[in-house]
Structures are given as structure tokens and as C-alpha cells.
Structure 1
């Protein structure tokens, strides 16, 4: 199967998974993301990466932020818009292939990436590069994922070890950012049927460094 065919199969799988009245990962925000509310301010522009059915993007909008929720599944995005409307909120949505999408430069005050672990190492590298590039100077990256120890729990996430995160992997991937918080822990998740039970997690918060001040020559 070609990469294109594999990608289409993955989208079809997510569309099928989301094609239910229930929200697979619940309708409340990820606990780690909610715990970082003190770092976020109303009016910020936020990119919610692979936001699925919108639980995190909608929560961000409820905090007064301008949210772009992107995902490969139009079925998931439809549910995200429905969830936002039910709460009297509005989010922008865009169906994208994150391997091909133009992330742009210096667009967002924050990027939120919660369990975006469908990506093989090559796609993950491209996504991590895009996340850093699209942040404005001083912008924040908030990321949570599963560690390899998650395979013994089997309570969510991919079955492939190469799609999971270690502290060293994240330090290397985001070496150009200012690391504010990196924490490995085993905690119970209760995020719908999709993430339920004891889980091996890693949390990261990092800031894009501001450009150094311009140096002006006094020579004439």
C-alpha cells in the first residue's frame, strides 16, 4: 500500500470511529491542558492540532481564545462544530493532511497538541517542525502524549512503540524552544471510551524564543 493509500485508509478509519453520537474522547478538555490555563489569555490565537471531535478546541474558545481546529477527519470536525454551537461558541475548523499542510510562520500565540500520536517518525518530525515554525516569537507549545510504558497499560494510544514519546525525544525535537515544563508520570485518564484508565504520560510546555534585539551600527 502506498503512502497516499495508507493516509486515505487512516482518514477512513478515524471517520468511522467518530461516526457515533457519543464523543469518543469525551467533551471535556484534556486535564493537562486545563491545568495550563494560567499560561493562556483571552484573545490569543491558538492552533489545536489533530483536534478530533473538538473537546480541546472548544474549551480553548470558552476561555476567550481564537481557535483554529485542524484534523484529517471531516466527521470529527463536524462534531467539533456541533459541540461549539451547543455551548454558544465558535471555532474555525479546517480539514488538513498534516504532512502536506502549510503551517505558515509566526501565525499563532499557542499550539496545542494533545495525543497526536498517529504519526510515524517521519511525519512526526514534519509536524514538530511545523508546530515550531507556526508559533509567533514568545508563543507557547503545550503537548501531552504517551510514553513507551503505555504499551503495558493498553488504555489508549497507538500499539506502535515508535509513535510514543520519551523525554529525550522531546528535548531533542524542541531543542530550539525554551523548555518550561517536562514531566513524566503515570496517571488515570477518564476521557471518554478512548482514553480510560492508568496511563503512562509525558507533558511538555515550551516557549518559542523571541528574536534578539536588532543591533545598529554607529559607523557612518
Structure 2
């Protein structure tokens, strides 16, 4: 996750194409579990080109999509307009983005792979940002993803960006984990996320 002032960031370069790199359909896990989110405000972290935020907006949620790529967020706005829904986009670095306290009915993090120290801090702030009854929803690649030759996700030399169920349990103190599992599944999300994958899935509810 790079500073938004870096206009030559890899994510801007990656998204600078007419194609939606990860597709326009929502993440399967998010789509299956969105029914757990109470009506209201949803914060999508690292929402990129907006496929997940736009899906949630179409379900009637008030969505804010945060990302460090201006190019990605511009595509998110175009996708929202094409679906006739509204999504607020915020260009921000997750190192400094302030989500507030008790303000959101859900915080969503789909394949948001951050350096460990930053990830721990972002997850702590995400828990704080949830209102009572709010939902934290996450899917990410696990270290086993490399073992099975999975496509997509952080490269082998950045394996510390991958997540495990045990690690996430420790990072998400304060939530009741109603879904907490590691599994292998087929992911089909554009050219960058395609094929057999080893993932961890979390749905946590704030009491």
C-alpha cells in the first residue's frame, strides 16, 4: 500500500487499463456472507477498482471505498455509475487513514495484504471502528498458497504479507468469530486471481 502522492505507484500502473484487473463481480466469500452485515455504513479497505464496494452499494449499504490508487478509485466510480449506485471513494494510505470509533456496521478487507506491523495496526483500528453488532469480513491468502502453487497474491519473497487463522485470531481480539477457517478453494476474479487458492476467511462480530 503506497502513499497516494506517488502517482507512479505499482497499483496505479496495474489498474491503468480498460480491463478491470480483478473483474467486476464481487468476491465470492463477500457475496455469500454479506447477509450478516446490519443495515447502514460499510467501509471497504483497499477496495481497488471497486467490485466489492459497488456490490455492497447495490445491496443498499452506504459504502465508503478506501484505496491508495487514484486510478483504481476512478474505475470504482465508473463501475458504480454503470450500476446506478453511489459509492464514496477516499484516496488514502492505510497507515494514516482514520476510520473513527464505533462508526461502521461493517469493515471489509478482501485480499488486503499489508506488512505485518501495519496489518496488526489496521486490524486493531478496524475493530475499534465497528459499532456494536458490526461485522468485520476478511479473506486473504495463507502461506499454504505458495505450497500448492496458487496464482495471485504476494510473491514468495514477501511471504510475511500472507495471513494465518491463528495470527488473525490474535489480531482481532474483541470480535466474536462466527466464521474462522482456512481452506483451499477455486478463486476466479479476473486475470490476477484465478485458480486453486489457499485462503483464510473471517467473519467477526463486535459484541
Is the TM value for this pair above 0.5?
A: yes
Pick from 31, 47, 54 the counterpart of residue 58 of structure 1.
54
Q: Does 1:140 align with 2:135?
A: yes
Counterpart-to-counterpart distance in 2, 1:154 and 1:204: 20
Residue 28 of structure 2: aligned partner: 31
> 2:145 & 2:30 partners in 1: Cα distance?
19
Partner of residue 170 from structure 1, selected from 168, 171, 174: 168
Q: Which runs of no fewer than 5 residues in structure 2 stay unpaired?
A: none
User: For 1:205, what is the secondary structure of its paired residue?
Assistant: strand
Q: Following TM superposition, by how much is the alpha carbon of 1:11 offset from its aligned partner in structure 2, in angstroms? A: 6.6
Does structure 1 residue 155 correspond to structure 2 residue 137? no
1:113 aligns with 2:112: no
Q: Look at both structures and tell me which one has the larger radius of gyration over its CA atoms.
A: 1
Matched, 1:14 2:31: no
- Structure 1, residues 78-132: CA drift from partner, whole Å, max 9, x if none? 0000000011111001001110111210110001110000x11111111111111
C-alpha distance in 2 between matches for 1:11 and 1:124: 23
Give the aligned partner of residue 48 of structure 1. Answer: 44
Deviations 1:190-211 (A, max 9, x none): 10011001000110000112xx
Which of 183, 190, 193 is equivalent to 1:192? Answer: 190
- Residues in 1 aligned to 2:179 and 2:7: alpha-carbon distance in whole angstroms: 32
Structure 1 position 9, deviation (Å): 6.0
Could you tell me how far apart the structure 2 residues matched to 1:206 and 1:10 are? 35
Please report how far the alpha carbon of residue 10 of structure 1 lies from its aligned counterpart in structure 2 after TM superposition. 9.4
2:78, 2:62 → 1: CA distance?
17
Task: Please give the TM-score of this superposition, normalised by the length of structure 2.
Answer: 0.93
The alignment's TM-score, normalised by the length of structure 1, stands at 0.88
Q: Root-mean-square deviation (CA), in Å?
A: 1.7
Report if aligned partners of 1:106, 1:137 keep a CA contact under 8 Å in 2: yes
SS in 2 for 1:36: helix
Asked whether the equivalents of residues 185 and 197 of structure 2 are also in contact (C-alpha less than 8 Å), the reply is yes
CA contact (8 A) 2:175 2:204 kept: yes
